[in-house]
Structure 1
């Protein structure tokens, strides 16, 4: 067993293979569905044991969600995850045992198209990365219409973004207690989690020292007109006479699904709203504070989305007429990353670009979207049913990911940029 002493309580976690893990630690709560996140000061006394410690050995809840359309790549959510609308503001901590000096803190922002995933999913456990001498903290945020319904908050930031900001503030406030160095906070995340880092870099650049953006759909921003149209579709999908505040969780999710079905633009209907020219990212305002940033994509990022589109058209993949959007050509993923890198470099930031091209043995998906996740996070049990593995064993995946984990940790430690790895990573 391991213990973690925080101002909000003493937590009892697990220790294995020289890594301490603490799960389901609350960083915020919201008493009503669309309430802004309130910081946690004291943990729920009902979870305290007789000796006053709080159990942090089991996973906390996630935001309610429907099955991900990427199950054909990742497989279904690992079975030991639960949902609870009021309890989504929790995080996990993975740290090396026997900390004597403050360590870099790597804060993970999960992806899932802004509508799925969570900090408590086994895919995102950080034991293997923590063995490289860093503290890994996956953080949560409200998803879909729960976190990104336009007009549900008076703040300029969506509720999901407010949750992430509150989590980063929690990390800074508790850095000393967890053995971390608040001057070396490195955020990292994939897909929607990569995009949300772009938003955070605009919103709270002072809370982030370094950043790794993996396979971000960097040009998928939503303008106000699009956001209002998505809201109108959602409201029209609610049971008659009901409001977003009064429907049940199941009814809320059903309306969210109908919004996706009725949306004709091809864009995700629930995501951060930025006042900008449609289709361009707005991460160009980072002035006065230099950041070290790594941005990259997977060689076959687009393949699964092209497969989805071909399935809709009921034709072979090579015959499908794919719309010109970010999901269907590698040029779009690469172009979004390069454009973002150029914007950031023009503001004086140090940016390294990479392309990940490692492919599991026997995989028809190749270096597909999400392939970087098992290289960095999770364990054999979490990734057991993931089609992206192909015929590769988890041991093969673990070995292939070792240089990435080492470089990601070194970047968090001192800003050393990743270097090329034959068969895995090239630097652009």
Structure 2
């Protein structure tokens, strides 16, 4: 990494919450434990593609934490401050955490003179269970709103401009950002959005279906969800996922995720609404996104066919909706295929180009035979493109291996 020295905070607690309760700001701005904590979760289903995370963090429900990476030089009078990019991680609403070393924004902050915030939120049943008398649902989405409020109130201390915030996220994180466009409580908290491989057709469900899955989960759990041990919750979550696959034949949709019509989401998700000002959106997908996922009974065909169905077609339709709503929209397709990787331009392969370090991504199968210097050379160009968009909403000429998509 080259560029100015950077400061990366330890995990910072942006909110607290009781199990199945709405998040609230902490009583005092105390840091989290030095190691930080991740929401209780199973191993990622993409470990074979990405490799498991090299930093092993304790699991705890006290997981509403974020990390801030910023240039170390913070003049006392910096007005209006540096552009802020807030990262929402993927993981199918069941795994991941913003504080993982994969999501270290050091290179992005150092090279591009920006502030990077990486956010964790509640996952699985802890974040998205809908069950009468137990959980009102969409708690992970409420967590994300609370994190945006924290940034608004505190990011100036790190040299960031709370009036120039871009959300960027991948997979479930990108879908979250798309949904935040419709959340009234998020209006005015961000200006721009970057959606990386958002599974628009696979990650949300109607309330009646979510209620049914909540009852299935409760039956598998066999005890009060409000007091059950986390390991027992994860076991019931796995059995619920298996039953959902058996019922639907769908191997892609997680059992727990955002629910339409449950606070803070309105009953309809379109046309999109936006923060104040003219909205600006950069969206795209990877040419071989679906190589990361096995075929299922209702998802057959070549990788190209499945990628077109799950990512290209829904995202292309979203572009039309965004433009009709008055947004300035830029599209891309990533065709970067690391030599020696059996996965090609797969799901998640762009993340090392934006975030993380050589150590964090060491031995990642999706990077094939490339050494870090080769990865970083491509990443430097992509980081510059993302930061340019965050500064003023202009995508400009996208660097190879990104293919610009015309409207």
TM-score w.r.t. length of structure 2: 0.89
Which whole-Å CA distance do the structure 2 matches of 1:28 and 1:258 have between them?
Answer: 30
Asked if the contact 2:12–2:32 (Cα under 8 Å) also holds between the matched residues in 1, the reply is: no
| Match in the other structure for 1:369 | 347
Which whole-Å CA distance do the structure 1 matches of 2:243 and 2:187 have between them?
Answer: 36
- The answer on 1:303 being equivalent to 2:278 is no
Secondary structure of the residue aligned to 2:67 is: strand
Q: How does 1:199-278 map to 2 (within 5 A)?
A: 199-203=179-183, 204-220=186-202, 221-239=204-222, 242-263=223-244, 264-265=247-248, 266=250, 267-275=253-261
| Match in the other structure for 2:279 | 291
User: What 5-or-longer segments of structure 2 have no aligned partner?
Assistant: none
Cα 1:145/1:321, change in 2 over 3 Å: closer
Secondary structure of the residue aligned to 2:116 is: strand
Secondary structure of the residue aligned to 2:86 is: strand
Which whole-Å CA distance do the structure 1 matches of 2:299 and 2:200 have between them?
Answer: 23
Asked if the contact 2:171–2:197 (Cα under 8 Å) also holds between the matched residues in 1, the reply is: yes
2:24 to 38, 56, 67: 38
Measure how far apart 1:232 and its partner are. 1.6
Cα 1:417/1:66, change in 2 over 3 Å: same
Which whole-Å CA distance do the structure 2 matches of 1:154 and 1:181 have between them?
Answer: 39
Cα 1:55/1:226, change in 2 over 3 Å: closer
Asked if the contact 1:81–1:120 (Cα under 8 Å) also holds between the matched residues in 2, the reply is: no
Measure how far apart 1:330 and its partner are. 2.6
| Match in the other structure for 1:114 | 93
Cα 1:360/1:151, change in 2 over 3 Å: same
Which whole-Å CA distance do the structure 1 matches of 2:190 and 2:398 have between them?
Answer: 25
> Cα deviation per residue 1:162-201 (whole Å; 9 max; x = unaligned)?
1000000000011222211111000000000000001111
Which whole-Å CA distance do the structure 2 matches of 1:83 and 1:236 have between them?
Answer: 24
1:385 to 348, 355, 363: 363
Q: CA RMSD in A?
A: 2.6
1:397 to 375, 379, 385: 375
Measure how far apart 1:79 and its partner are. 2.9
Cα 1:88/1:114, change in 2 over 3 Å: same
| Match in the other structure for 2:11 | 24
Secondary structure of the residue aligned to 1:273 is: coil
Which whole-Å CA distance do the structure 2 matches of 1:82 and 1:161 have between them?
Answer: 22
| Match in the other structure for 2:145 | 165
Which whole-Å CA distance do the structure 1 matches of 2:67 and 2:142 have between them?
Answer: 18
Secondary structure of the residue aligned to 2:289 is: coil
Which is strand-richer, 1 or 2?
Answer: 1
Which whole-Å CA distance do the structure 2 matches of 1:135 and 1:327 have between them?
Answer: 38
> Cα deviation per residue 1:104-150 (whole Å; 9 max; x = unaligned)?
11000000000000011111110011111110000111001100001
Asked if the contact 1:127–1:378 (Cα under 8 Å) also holds between the matched residues in 2, the reply is: yes
- The answer on 1:97 being equivalent to 2:72 is yes
| Match in the other structure for 2:104 | 125
Which whole-Å CA distance do the structure 2 matches of 1:321 and 1:150 have between them?
Answer: 27
Which whole-Å CA distance do the structure 2 matches of 1:89 and 1:256 have between them?
Answer: 21
